[in-house]
Every structure is written in C-alpha cells, then in structure tokens.
Amino acid sequence: MPGKRKSNTDKAPDCQKAAEEKLFGHKFLRLAIKLSIIITVLLAGYLIFLDIKIIYKFEGKKWSLPAHVYARTLELYSNAPYTKEQLATELKLLGYQQQKNLDKPGSYHITGSTISVHKRGFDFSDGPEPARQLKITFTREGVGRITAEDKQAADLIRFEPLLIGGIYPKQAEDRILLQLQDVPEIFINSLVSVEDKVFYRHYGVSPRAIARALLSNIKAGKTVQGGSTLTQQLVKNLYLSSDRKLSRKINEALMSLLLELHYDKPEILETYLNEIYLGQAGERAIHGFGLASYFYFERPLNELKPSQIALLIGMVKGPSTYNPRRNPDKATSRRNLVIDIMLEDKIITAKQAKQARQAPLGITKYPATGPSRYPAFMELVRSQLKQDYQQEDLESEGLKIFTTLDPLAQDAAEGALEKRLSRIEKERKLKKKSLQGAVIVTSSDAGEVLALVGGREARYSSFNRALNANRQVGSLLKPAIFATALSQPEKYSMLTLLDDSPLQVRSQNGQVWEPQNYDNEFHGWIPLYYALAKSYNVASARLGLELGLENVLDTLSSLGISKKLPSYPSVLLGAAELAPIEVMAMYQTLAANGFQTPIRAIRDVLDTDNNVLNRYPIRLQQVIDPSVAYLTTASMIEVMRNGTGKSFYSTFPESMIVAGKTGTSNDLRDSWFAGFSNDRLGIVWVGNDDNESTGLTGSNGALRVWTDMMKQTGIQSLSLAPPDNIEFAWIEQSSGRLAADYCEGAVQFPFIRGSLPHDKADCIRDRRSIGYRIRTNVKSIWERLVGE
C-alpha cells in the first residue's frame, strides 16, 4: 500500500520550525560576530594600551637615578707629599687587587719603594681618562718618579674617586648603569646560558621552556622551575608586580611579545642588566649587575673572576635565598651549579671551572646599612646641595657630585676618636662607650672638609654631633679676645703685660661674677701671649672687658661665628654653646691668615652626560688684618710649645710647628681642641651626651684625639710668611724691653710696625749697638722656636 502523503497542513509546522531555527542561527551568528568584533576591539584596545605603556617607559625615563656622591680625586705628581703606604691604602679602598699580573685595570703590585698599578679609567668633567699601567716610585719626601707603559714620565695622574654614597628616591632604588658594550662577553654568555638558552631565537615567549617547566613542576608536585624568558623577567620587573595570578602571567606574555616587536635583543638585554633586583642594604634596593658588582665585591663588573660572575648570576633566581652574606652555603651551592652550566656550554675551561669551584665567595664586609659609608659627611653634603637643587632633582636625575672628602683622613679621624676614647675609658675606669665625640678636619687654606665624624659609630646614621651638638666651648673663644687687642698696635702687642689678679664684675641685677683660673691661683702681671698660652681666665676676662665686650663679639662675628652670642662677661670664657662646625668657621679664618673661607664639602656637580652643572670654587674675604692673624697665630704656637697644648710634643718632634687652643667647659663637661698645621685644621670635641662631667680637660681629652689623628695622616709643619708690616725685635723676656741677640735670655718676637717697645734693656753696651735688630727679610718667626 502506497505511503500516506503529508498534507499541506502537516508540512506547515515543519517549515515554521525550520524557519525559526534558521532565524535563530542568523541571530546567533550576528551575535557571535558582534561579540567577536567587540572582543577583538577590546583586545586590540588592550594591546594598544599595553603597547603604549611599554613604549612610554622603555623609550622615556626608565628609572629615577639617584645622585651618586664621590670623594675627592687623588692626584699624584712628582714630589707630591704622599707615601707608598697611603697609596696602597687608597687602592685597597678603591677595590684594587694586589697581584703580580697587571693585565686588567684595578690591580697593583708593590716592589720595594715602587708601586706598579693598572689604573682604571674614569670620566672626569674635563674628559675621560683612560685606563693605563703606571710605575710610581717613592722617596722619603713622597712621590718620586711616575712612568707610563712607554717609559715616558707622567707629569700628573688621577685615580678614579671613591664612591661614598648616594641620594635616593623614596623607593630607594639604586643602580649604576651599564652599557652592553662594557659588559664582558663571558658574563653575557653565562647569563643567557643559565637564564634563557634560546634568548636569541624566541620572540619574547618560549613555548618549549614553558612546556619543560610545566612538566618538571607536575613531576615534582610543586613549582620547581620557571619558564620565563629574560624578556618576561624584564617585563615583570619593569612593568608588573611579582604576584602569581593568571592575569599577571597573561599580561607578562603579551607585553613580552610586544616588547620584542619593538626593540632588538641587545637593547632588551642591556635594560635587563640594569633592572634586575639583586639585594638589599637597609632601605636601599640594589638593582642591576653594575651596582651589585660593587655591592658584593667593591669592583666593576669587568674585573670579576669567573667564580664571582657565577655568584651574581646565580643570585638572579633568589637574591634573598642566595644572599652570600646571610646564606653562604646556599650561595656556594648555587654558584657551583652555575659554574657547571658555564663549563657544559664551553664558556669556561675545565681548569677555570675547578679554580672557580675552589675559590671562596670573596665578598666584602657587609656595607653600611645607610645610603653612605660616611653618613655624617653626607649630611653636610645634603645641606649644602639644598641651597642650589630641588630634592626631586637630587633623587632622580643621576647627578654626579664630587666632594672634598679625603678617605684616608676620614678613616684616621674615625679610628683616632674610637681608639683614644676607649683608652681613656679604660684608664679612668669609665663605662665602655660612655664617652662621645666629634671631629672635623679641613684644609687650612681652602676650607675644604676632608673628614667629618659625628660620633663613635661613624658608619651608621645617628645624631651628628659635628653639625648639631651645641656645647659650651670654654676657652676656644679666647683667641678672639687677643685678636681684638692685637688689632690696636698702639696699645697692645704680644708682650703687653696683663693683670691676672682677682677680678669681680657686678651685673645690673647685683650678681657678682668672679672668674677663676683652672689652677685656682693668680699670677700677677704676665705678657699677653703667655696669658693665652696658659689659658689664664682672669687675665683674659679682664682684657676682654677692657677692650669692650661688644668689640670682642664683633671680632667673633668677623672670624665666622654667625650665631648671635649673649652679651654678658662670662661669654669671654666660653659660656656660649656652639656646634663643632661653627667653631671650625672661626679657626678656619685664623688658619687662612685672616681670610674668611666658607667651609665647603662640594667641588663640582655634573649631569649624567658629564656636563658641569655647578662648580663650587674657593671664596676668600679678608676679615682680619693679616698682621693681627699672624700675631694671634704666633701666640697659639706658644700654646702648643709652652702652654696647655705642650703634650703634643710627647708624640711629635720639636721641629713640627703647629698652632692650637684647648677648651674646657665648667665642671669638665666638655673637652675641646682646635689646632692647625700648614695643611690641615682639626676640631675635636669630647663629652657625654647627657652633659655629665667627663673629668677631662681639653688637654687630656680632645687634644690626645687630635694628636693621634694627625700622627696617622701626617701633617706639614706650619710656615707662615710674615706680612709686610711685621718686624722682628730681640726682647728681654724678664722685662719686655728691647734687647739684642747677644743679650742673655733674649728672644725674638714679631711686632706690627711702629709698636716696638721704647725702653731698652741694660744689656745693650752702647748706642752704636742700636739695641735691637729690626728684620724685614726674615723667612719665618718660627726660627726662634726650633733653634735655627
């Protein structure tokens, strides 16, 4: 029987259903297309966003570069007063290695009186100075002959300055930028072998590396291997956070592809070398292999040995885990693994690999946790920089700041303070570390700060006593009294007799001030210079009142004391609080023959391209008559020869001429000394932070620190040319009358022309003998002191 045909009415539902399905399909297709378009647009927009982000940072300012601060540049020339031992110490500070083979910069060798050195190159403000090999021969007087590789004499050589600190942005990232061309090939090859073997063949992401890492992690049941390329690591560090979210990994992959699309491999690799995080020093983050090389080994990257290269590269995996200072065993194991990879990939030989595995880690002592190895000096640098630069520029523009600090003088000052105070505590059975102190050293003529110590823990940031400890200064202000008197030659000379008998001064409120001498005795009539030499309070106070307190305060202001001091008599004997840096200003003027020289810690500021932004030249202003400064200095030499500073000569020979002044505050709370030689001026304060008595005078406290310090650094004997209006005469000491060189006990003294005594000593035989000898061509007053 034939099948039953469907009627039209039966076909209708099927057609309708088909039409509906077709309509739905069309709608779904349109929706899918729209969604695809939207997703594509969003993805394209997101990729454009990522692309802009990559380009903006990569082509713009990648990093906020901190200002780097350098010590003074060591310059050597024939006859320079610099010893073989001093140069050897400086080279060690700079990270030079003592070895016979001088094939690389940063090495030196000592043979007898000669130091052979392969000096590093450096970009100075007047141009780059290349690395070169030199031989420096020393004599007893200092530097003898300097010869270069070609046997030709070198007139002047400059060593690269020591990096002493930086001024860091808030995130405290620090780095020394490297250029790829300056990175050793062994380092680049080793890094690529360990971190990304297919770096030069992938396009930002390596599927093979990802698959290999995934398989290893599945087998281990935990994350044991990463699949990130160098490009991905750079993206993560430069643009993204370190979290492990899937979204971050996707962004990392996309941005890596985009980065490789825009930039070539060398540029990516150079950025990686400068960005990678490699450790922490307090709040300071160590970024890049350039800085890490100095941080761990105190030498540039191109001077590292294979074992040191392996250690740095091994730390990339985990700077904290493989920190060689905290975890030396883990760091050694990781380093040796890297050495094995270097050998496997034929980057080093089997012999080199064996030597590298056997080598110690070779890291330097842990650096100071702060931003500088000399934080007290850096505080002074910061304060002077703020006069010319915004903090943001100092933190981000990569400025190079060349300072006046002498590392050898700084180390001597730190060592002298710590060792001497420890000895005093032991001698006097005081509690350990109970005494504190501060030291400032400058160049006598130029006011350049060579050393600054803010306390016994000199390498750590703490209260900076050199700049901020305001303490009573005792007799340190007395030279201003005597300078005020000597500026009136018609009334005063070094031999003018002063009254050291009891003195009472009644104030307006009826209180009586009665100054006393340290020995609790009175000494009658004494010469002016002798009153200063012995630091007699009563004679000094009476002289100051006779001159007028306001006149003495004016002299203090002219000498450099900018702080307004109280106008009452006791200030003449140091009843005023000053910081060591303020005392330094006064003595700097005396040491510079009456020229006020602003104390400076900075010489030059350069930008990242070595263009000079600012120079800080020496500025001089005559504020005290040179003749007055000369006579005041002569009196201060007597302080050291026959007065409160004479213990200096238990360490130094009598031929060494220095000028100085001790200071002791009430109840022996503060011990001070200020003194200068021909080349150096030093201020030392010793006391207790709680202002309790130390039991120390200036002589048996601060002066001992000063003497120890100057013995270590070496100083030049003071030699001053007398001003034109200074004349010399033989004086009978017992009477102060004019004498002759044949008179018994006669001594030569300088006078401002026209102020010679009128009375003649009995020893003069007849008028033709003249009775005195005026000498205007005398080389130096100090002839009488050394018996020449």
Confidence of residue 612 (pLDDT cuts 50, 70, 90): very high
- Top-confidence residue, 226 or 150: 150
457 is catalytic: no
| CB-CB contact of 408 with 450 (8 Å) | no
Exposed / middle / buried, residue 704 (Cβ in 10 Å: 0-12, 13-18, 19+): buried
Determine which helix (DSSP H) or strand (DSSP E) holds 264, and give its type and residue range. Answer: none
* pTM strictly above 0.75: yes
In this structure, what token pair is assigned to residue 452? 């600054």
Mean pLDDT within 527-555: 97
Quick one: pLDDT at residue 260?
A: 85
Name residue 145's beta-bridge partners: none
Do 482 and 528 meet the contact criterion of CB atoms below 8 Å apart? yes
178 neighbors 184 (Cβ within 8 angstroms): no
Q: If you write DSSP's letter for every residue of 233-268 in order, what string do you get? A: HHHHHHHS-----HHHHHHHHHHHHHHHHHS-HHHH
Whole-Å CA distances, 355 to 185, 339, 479, 509:
19, 10, 65, 84
SS3 491: coil
- With cut-offs at 50, 70 and 90, classify the pLDDT of residue 782: very low
Tokens of 395: 């933190």
299: Cβ–Cβ under 8 A, 6 or more apart, which residues? 95, 96, 97, 106, 293
From the number of C-beta atoms within 10 Å of its C-beta (0-12, 13-18, 19+), residue 77 rates as: middle
- pLDDT at residue 10 greater than cutoff 60: no
**Residue 562: band (very low, low, confident or very high) from pLDDT cuts 50, 70, 90:** very high
pLDDT at 284: 83
Q: How confident is the model at residue 116 (pLDDT cuts 50, 70, 90)?
A: very high
Q: What is the share, in percent, of the chain residues with pLDDT greater than 70?
A: 89
The residues pairing with 440 across neighbouring beta strands, listed in sequence order, are 452, 683
Nearby residues of 422 by Cβ (< 8 Å), 6 or more positions away: 432
The average confidence (pLDDT) of the chain is 88
State mean pLDDT over 728-733. 90
Catalytic residue among 195, 252, 414, 448: 195
Confidence of residue 765 (pLDDT cuts 50, 70, 90): low
Neighbours of 142 (CB within 10 A): 17
Among 58-62, 99-103, 691-695, 738-742, whose mean pLDDT is lowest?
A: 58-62
User: Using only C-alpha atoms, what is the Rg of the chain?
Assistant: 37
Per-residue pLDDT averaged across 682-697, rounded?
97
Q: Is the dihedral of CA 229, 232, 237, 238 positive or negative?
A: positive
Closest residue by Cα to residue 230 from 182, 268, 174: 268
Q: If DSSP codes are grouped into helix, strand and coil, which group holds residue 518?
A: coil
Predicted pLDDT of residue 243: 67
Q: Exposure string (b/e) for 362-383, b if CB count within 10 Å is 16 or more?
A: ebeeebbebbbbbbbbbbbbbe
Bridge partners of 738, per DSSP, are: 731, 760
- Candidates 632, 622, 623; CA nearest to 555 is 623
Predicted pLDDT of residue 239: 79
- Output the pLDDT for position 346: 94
Q: What is the pLDDT of residue 36?
A: 78
What contacts 496, CB < 8 A, 6 or more positions away?
A: 485, 527, 528
> Who wins on pLDDT, 772 or 664?
664
Alpha-carbon distance 298 to 377, whole Å?
A: 21
CB 290 within 8 A of CB 274: yes
Looking at residue 261, its pLDDT comes to 83
Q: Does pLDDT of 34 surpass 80?
A: no
Query: Choosing from 107, 228, 307, 475, which is the catalytic residue?
Result: 475
Percent of the chain with pLDDT over 90: 65
Give the tokens for residue 135: 């031989």
pLDDT of residue 590: 97
Q: Name 760's bridge partners.
A: 738
Confidence band, pLDDT 50/70/90 cuts, at residue 120: very high
Active-site residue, 195 included = yes
State the pLDDT confidence band at 589, using cuts at 50, 70 and 90.
very high
The model's confidence at residue 666, banded by pLDDT at 50, 70 and 90, is very high
Q: What is the pLDDT of residues 373-404, one digit of tens each?
A: 899 999 999 999 998 888 878 877 889 999 99
Q: Are strands 143-148 and 612-615 parallel, antiparallel or unpaired?
A: unpaired
- Are 764 and 744 contacting, i.e. CB atoms less than 8 angstroms apart? no
Between CA 234 and CA 238, with CA 236 as vertex, the angle to 5 degrees is 65
What pLDDT sits at residue 127? 85
Q: List Cβ neighbours of 386 (8 Å cut-off, separation of 6 or more).
A: none
pLDDT at 117: 96
Confidence of residue 781 (pLDDT cuts 50, 70, 90): very low
Q: In Å, what is the CA distance from 38 to each residue of 34, 35, 42, 415?
A: 6, 5, 6, 72
In tens, the pLDDT along 205-222 reads 888 777 776 676 566 565
Three-state secondary-structure class, residue 283: coil
Summarize the confidence of residues 551-571 as an average pLDDT: 95
Longest dimension (CA), the chain: 178
Residue of 71, 77, 80, 69 lying closest to 160 (CA atoms)? 71
Is 593 a residue whose pLDDT tops 60? Answer: yes
Tell me the two tokens of residue 437: 């102190």
For the ranges 243-252, 380-389, 475-484, 620-629, the lowest mean pLDDT is seen at 243-252
- Summarize pLDDT for 174-204 with one digit per residue, the tens: 888 899 999 999 999 999 999 999 899 988 8
pLDDT at 27: 72
Q: What pLDDT digit, counting tens, does each position of 317-359 carry?
A: 999 999 999 999 999 999 999 999 999 999 999 999 999 999 9
Query: CA separation (Å) from 67 to 314, 389, 393?
Result: 29, 11, 8
Q: CA 623, 626, 628, 631 torsion: positive or negative? A: positive
pLDDT at 30 over 80: no
The mean per-residue pLDDT over the stretch 503-526 comes to 92
Angle at 85 between CA 95 and CA 364, to 5 degrees: 25
- How many whole angstroms separate alpha carbon 93 and alpha carbon 96? 8
- The pLDDT score that the predictor gives to residue 780 is 37
